Amino acid sequence: MVDLLLLPFRLLWALIGLVFNLTGRLIGIVLGLLLMVIGLILTITIIGAVVGIPVLILGLLLVIKSIF
């Protein structure tokens, strides 16, 4: 049951790891910051918040994965 609940997080972390392996650390940080800015701009518009918040979180996770 716990594995089923953690599956989306594992898949997201694997996706971030794939992007990190393909791009490298510096480009991963730049791409993550770019996604965070795009997510923030989308979140400012109320309608775009549905898409903006996940994009912002994805960018933050990409930066964290690139740093560590």
pLDDT tens digits, residue range 11-37?
888 888 887 787 788 888 899 999 999
Domain that holds residue 44: 2-67
Q: Is the pTM of this model over 0.85?
A: no
Averaged pLDDT for residues 31-46: 92
- What is the percentage of the chain residues whose pLDDT exceeds 70? 100
- How far is the C-alpha of 30 from the C-alpha of 50, rounded, in Å? 23
- How far is the C-alpha of 26 from the C-alpha of 39, rounded, in Å? 20
**Of 6, 55, 59, whose CA–CA distance to 28 is shortest?**
59
Give me the number of domains the chain comprises.
1
